[in-house]
Amino acid sequence: MQAMEVTKLYYLCIIFQLHLIVKGIEWNNFFEVSNTYFKARHVKLLTVVNCFNTVDNFQLTKNYLEAGFFVRIIERFDHFNVSGNGNSGVVVDGSCETKMRQLLTISSLNEFMQTNIFWLFLEEVHESDKLEVPDTIRTRYNDDFRHVEALPGSSVAVGVFQSSWRLFDVHKKHSKGSLIFKDICYHGRNLMESTNMQRALLRFNKNLKERRNLRGYRMPTAIAITSPEKHTGINDMSDTFHDLYAKSTFPLIKELMYDVNFTINMIQVDLGGWKINGTFNGLMGLLANRTVELVAMGVLMRSERMEVSDYITVAFLLKTCFIFKQPPLSLVSNIFELPFSGQVWLSCLGFIIVCWITMMSVRFFARRENLTPGDSLTFIIGTMCQQDINLSAHFNSTKFLFFVAKLASFFIFAAYSATIVALLQSPSRAIRSVDDLTASPLKVGAMDTVYTWVYLNEAKDAQVQNLFQKKIKRYGKNSLIEADVGMRRVKDELYAFQVESNAAYLFIKQTFTPQDTCKIHELEAIKVAPFAIPVRKGSKYRELFRQRLIWQMEVGIKHRANRIWIAHKPKCESGVVAFNSVGLKELRFLYILLPVGVALAWFILGAELYRKKKLQKVEEGSKTSPSDGEEVMNEIKLKLVYDGYLN
C-alpha cells in the first residue's frame, strides 16, 4: 500500500509540474511557426487541432487562407482523415490536453503516419536548458506515443518555444521503442525566417544516417523455401533453379540489414501465399496477421496480395517461355516438292510435253522411226530423272532431240539434288506462334512451379488457352515435370517445355552441345509478373527500405546479385549444324508413292488384259466372215503396231 501511495504522489508531482511549466500558445505564435514549417514542406492541405476560442480560430483560418493553405479545424474526431492527393500537414496544439488525448486514441491514427503527411506538435515551456529536449517534453511524449507508430517512415516534428522556437524531429526505431529527438537547426539562426527554415530542413534531410540506423532492432522477417527437401542452404550456388526467388533476393536483404543496422528474426514457410476461401496462407498469411514486418525474398506481384502487403521494389524480372527445337523441315513439309518453285515445276511439265509432242511429230513425218507414244513419254520422264531407257533413233534429228532432252534434264537434276540435300538437313520455321505450336506434332509440358498452373489456367489470351486445354490440361498435373527432365526431353525428342529461362539456360549450358544450342528456339506465351519484395501493409519501414534498395540498384549491388544467380542466354557459337542421317520420317512420302504406284500398275495391267481379251473376241468373230474379217484384222494389227505390241 505504501508503494502505491508513493507512485500516486510521483504522478501527481509530474502533473503539477507540467501545469506549472506548460502553458497555452497564442494563436499568432501558433500560426507563425506552422506557416513557416509547412511552406518549407510544400504542404497545401492543412488540418488544425487546437483549443482556441471561436474568434482566435477565425483569425487563424483567415491567415491560413491568405497564406495559400486549404485549411480545416477539427472539432470532432468521428471521421478523422488527413490524407490528400499530395503533401498534407497536421498541426496540433500540444497544450490542449483534451483534444491531444482524443487524437492519440484514434484507432486509425497509425494509418496517417506516412512520409507525405507531416505532423507538427507545438509546445510552449519554460526551462533554462536550451541545448537538449526539455525533460518534461521527452517524458510526456514517450508516454503519449506508446501506441503511435512514429517509425522512420513517418514525418513527425515537435516545436518547442523557449524564448524562441526550436524544432525536433521525432521517431522510433520500432513500435515499442523510445522516442528519439533530433534537433532541426541551421547554425543557430532564427527558424521563423522562411529561408532559414528551408535550409535547416534541407540540411536535416541530407544527414539522415541516424534516422536510418535501426540500432540492431530484431526485424520479424519471413522467407519461403518451396522445395525444402532439395534445399541445401540459402547461399548454395550449386543449385540455382530451386528456390531462385529466395536465393537471388537474400543478398539484397543481407546488404539492407547491414546498411540500416537491423538483425533478422527469421521465420521459414514453404509457400509464397495464395488466397483460399478468403484467407491467405504462407508468407501472405504471416503479413496478414502482422506476424512479420518484412519478407526476405521476391514474390509474385498479384492484385489479391496487395490487400495484405505493400511492395517495396522489384527484385528481379523472371522470363518464362516455351523452349523447343524446330521440327525438321521434312516432318512438316513434303521436301521432294520444295527444291523447285511452282513456276519451275510447271516449266518441267511443259518441257516434257514439248519433247513428247516433238517426238510424235518426228514419228509422223518419218515412218521408219519406231517411237510409240508410250515409249516416248517413258523415255522423257526417265531422262528427267537421270534414268536411261534403251530406245534407239534412226534419224539424226531424233538423236539431236534426245541429246537436248538429256542435257536439259542434267542441269535440272543437278539443281534439284543440290537443293534437296540442303533441305534434308535444314530445320523448319513452322512454329512462330502459340497456334503453330498447338497444331504442331510436338508434345508440350511445363515446369513444376507453384505458379505455372495458375498462370496458364488464368491466361486471357485465346491462343494460350487453346494450347493449355489441348496439350497440357488434358494430362493433368502429370504434364508438370522437373526442369532437368523437361530439358532432357527437349534435347532428345520433339518436345516443347514451358520453363523459367534461368533454369533452361543453365541446363543448356551444362548438357547441350554447341550444335544443339543453335537449334533452340523460344516462344513467349505468358508474361509472369515481376518478383517484388513485400512488407506488411502500411509498414512505416517501406519508404526507408525502398530508398536503400534503390541505392543498391544505382551502385550495382542488385545487378551483381542478378549476374551471379540468374543465368543468361547462351550464344550460338558453332554456327554449323551437325549432320543428321536421313531417317524413315524424311522418306514417308515415298512410302505413300510406292503402294500408290504399285496399285496403278496393277490397274493398268488389268486394263490391258481386258483390252487384249476384247481384241481376241473380235479376231475369233472375224474368222466366220472372211471378207470382213480381213479388214478387221488389218485394223487390229495397225493398232497393235501403234501401241508397240508388234514390230
Mean pLDDT for 333-358 is 78
Q: Model confidence over 416-425: pLDDT tens digits?
A: 777 777 776 6
Q: Model confidence over 150-180: pLDDT tens digits?
A: 998 889 999 988 778 888 999 999 888 899 9
Domain ranges across the chain: 19-207, 322-327+429-527, 329-425, 589-643
Specify the pairing of strand 279-280 against strand 275-276.
antiparallel
Residue 484 has pLDDT above 80, yes or no: yes
Residue 68 has pLDDT above 50, yes or no: yes
Q: Given this model, what pLDDT does residue 67 score?
A: 92
User: 224 near 287, Cβ under 8 Å?
Assistant: no
Residue 438 has pLDDT above 60, yes or no: yes
> How far apart, in Å, are the Cα atoms of 549 and each of 263, 314, 327?
17, 9, 45
Pick from 166-180, 447-461, 506-520, 572-586: least confident: 572-586
Residue 83, H or E segment: none
Q: Please state, in angstroms and rounded to a whole number, the distance separating the CA atoms of residues 425 and 430.
A: 15
User: 11 near 4, Cβ under 8 Å?
Assistant: no
Model confidence at 553, pLDDT cuts 50, 70, 90, reads very high
Q: Given this model, what pLDDT does residue 89 score?
A: 93
Q: Please state, in angstroms and rounded to a whole number, the distance separating the CA atoms of residues 647 and 642.
A: 9
Of all residues in the chain, the percent with pLDDT exceeding 90 is 24
Q: Model confidence over 205-259: pLDDT tens digits?
A: 877 778 888 999 999 999 999 888 888 888 888 777 778 888 889 999 999 999 9
Question: What fold characterizes domain 19-207?
Answer: Rossmann fold (3.40.50)
Q: Model confidence over 586-628: pLDDT tens digits?
A: 666 677 777 887 888 788 888 878 887 887 777 777 655 555 5
HSE, side-chain direction, 13 A CA sphere, residue 324: 32
Q: 131 or 513, which is more confident?
A: 513
Q: Please state, in angstroms and rounded to a whole number, the distance separating the CA atoms of residues 608 and 619.
A: 16
Q: 222 or 397, which is more confident?
A: 222
Q: Given this model, what pLDDT does residue 129 score?
A: 57
The candidate with the shortest Cα–Cα distance to 361, out of 373, 348, 352, is 373
Model confidence at 408, pLDDT cuts 50, 70, 90, reads confident
CATH architecture under which domain 322-327+429-527 falls: 3-Layer(aba) Sandwich (3.40)
Q: Please state, in angstroms and rounded to a whole number, the distance separating the CA atoms of residues 329 and 538.
A: 58
Q: Given this model, what pLDDT does residue 19 score?
A: 42
Residue 128, H or E segment: none
Q: Given this model, what pLDDT does residue 265 score?
A: 93
Mean pLDDT for 361-379 is 71
Average pLDDT, the chain: 82
Residue 23 has pLDDT above 60, yes or no: no
Residue 430 has pLDDT above 80, yes or no: no
Q: Model confidence over 249-260: pLDDT tens digits?
A: 999 999 999 999
